[in-house]
Chains A and B, each alone.
Chain A
Amino acid sequence: MKITFVAADGTRTQVQAREGDSVMHTAVQNDVDGIIGECGGSMMCATCHCYVDDGWTEAVGGQEEGESDLLDCAASEVRPTSRLSCQIRMRAELDGIVIHLPESQL
């Protein structure tokens, strides 16, 4: 399955993802700039902040418990489509998902 990352400057990068891996993990392992994931997905850093593309918000579903508190600490603007990418796991319905990256994570 695939994920397309759109950087803050509009650059698009498509990468291959494994089912069950998080979007954060997929970005890091594919050297996508713009997602840090400092805590390795332990919901402790908010450096994996992303915006889910409007066309995909429904498929992705809502935030996990505590996610909004972490997003409060994110470096870039929080929008209704904001998520922690470490909490989005890849599954068949998300094949082809488009993820927008924030200006900065620190």
Chain B
Amino acid sequence: MQRIVIIGSGQGGQQAAASLRQEGFSGEILMLGEEPGLPYQRPPLSKAYMANGDAGALLLKPAAFYERSAIMLRDGVRVTAIDRAARAVLTGDGARHAYDHLILATGARNARPPIPGLDAPGVVGLRSLADAERIRRRLAATRQAVVVGGGFIGLEFAAMARAAGVGVTVVEATPRLMARAVSPEMAAHFLDLHRAMGTELLLGVQAAGVLTGAAGHAAGVALADGREVAGDLVLMATGVRPNAELAEAAGLACANGILVDATLATADPAISALGDVAAFPGPLGAPLRLESVQAAVDHARHVARRLVHGDGRPYAAVPWFWSDQGKAKLQIAGLLSGADHSLALPQPDAAPVVLLFRQGRLAAVETVNAPGIHMAARRLIGAPQDSLRAHGYDLRAAVKAVSAA
């Protein structure tokens, strides 16, 4: 293999390039990324960056890394088509790049719900550094913000905005916060936390449109039940859609993401996909798409091992995720989907530890500000419930027992 082309220079694309070199790949690596500049981390965009505005601190690696690793990065370049027959990609600037292997790491973009007014000035999304810069500039002059969507990014932003003295209303269509990704017990805990921060949270009600005021600027959000919420900044945080169109146009199978097998290869052996855009076989059999640093990084390492050493093992890394909301660091190990039983262990003066089980085995664990329990949980995913009960559900004790055995 002479030349590997990576589309997308985000968390997963960058890791793929780095891991290929770590594993000893000596051919050419070309990374084509639509965003300007060096690959950076997105998680701080809704966290520390909102407070400190330090864009330099976001870089995954400095420029020197790409030079010494002979990783060619073309930034500000959009790939417009994949010519699978000729094994080449076409870019917006008219260039054509041949590949022996192609890695699709195109990530995801913000979803746009079908409601009027989203183009009004003052309506923002948060996915890229450019988005975050725009929001930070506006935030200084904002008195009241409306967040549409009570998921991780909306709530992280809400906490940062409150800390900056901005009034915040969160509008969430489902009856609870972070409904797709956390247990009802943990969602209830975070509802209390955000209320205590002074955020107004409206649950179970849809946004019907953006209200505009003077000169067409956003002035708030109209709700489906007829109420109106005022705000001069409207953050749309209603989830993402995978950037799979390029693959789809090239005839690769897609269904909520680019479908890959357990080794993260598409049906075309010369093309792999990873990160937010990849739908891979999950533990329940159905295709699974994760939106996390862990998945992007572990996928990338997995693909690199396959390409360099021919390692054909199935991908099976334990998922983990975090979200910082105010002083609360939520950490999740494992996957909630398919859980049939949960156990909320109250902790003195702190958030509960929530254990979720699927068919008698540990499927996921949610903790807040308890990194030790989280790390133990990561090693116990899949353990039978009985073995944990035997330790009074003290996960750290259970891990010690396992490693001693």
Hey, which chain A residues are within 8 Å of B167, CB to CB? none
- Residue contact A30 to B370, C-beta cutoff 8 Å: no
Partner of B329, one of A42, A68, A69: A42
What residue in chain A is nearest B18 (Cβ atoms)?
A36
Tell me if A29 counts as interface (CB < 8 A to partner B): yes
Q: How far is the CB of B70 from chain A (nearest CB, A)?
A: 14
Q: Indicate if the CB atoms of A44 and B320 lie closer than 8 Å.
A: yes
From residue A77, how far is it (CB to closest CB) to chain B in Å?
Answer: 15
Choice from A21, A44, A66, A67 contacting B322 with Cβ under 8 Å: A44
Render A24-37 as a binary contact track against B, CB cut-off 8 A, 1 for contact: 01001111000000
B375 touches A73 (CB 8 A): yes
A29–B324 alpha-carbon span in the complex (Å)? 23
Note all chain A residues with C-beta closer than 8 A to B370: 66
The answer on a CB contact under 8 Å between A42 and B375 is no
Q: Size range of the interface on B?
A: 20 to 34
Question: Is B139 engaged at the interface, CB distance under 8 Å to the other chain?
Answer: no
Chain A contacts for B65, CB-based, 8 A: 31
| Smallest CB gap from B57: residue in A | A25
Known A31-B68, A40-B43, A42-B324: A70·B371 in contact at CB below 8 Å: yes
- Is B257 an interface residue, CB under 8 A from the partner? no
Shortest A32–chain B CB gap in Å is 10
Instruction: Check A39–B322 contact: CB distance below 8 A.
Output: yes
* A residues lining the B interface (CB < 8 Å): 21, 25, 28-31, 38-40, 42-44, 46, 65-70, 72-73
Across the A-B interface, the 9 shortest Cβ-Cβ residue pairs: A69-B372, A66-B371, A43-B371, A66-B372, A31-B64, A31-B65, A69-B375, A31-B62, A42-B322
**What are 28 contact pairs spanning A and B, CB under 8 A?**
A21-B57, A28-B60, A28-B61, A29-B62, A31-B61, A31-B62, A31-B64, A38-B293, A39-B293, A39-B322, A40-B43, A40-B44, A42-B322, A42-B324, A43-B329, A44-B322, A44-B331, A44-B375, A46-B375, A66-B370, A66-B372, A67-B371, A69-B372, A69-B373, A69-B376, A69-B396, A70-B375, A73-B378
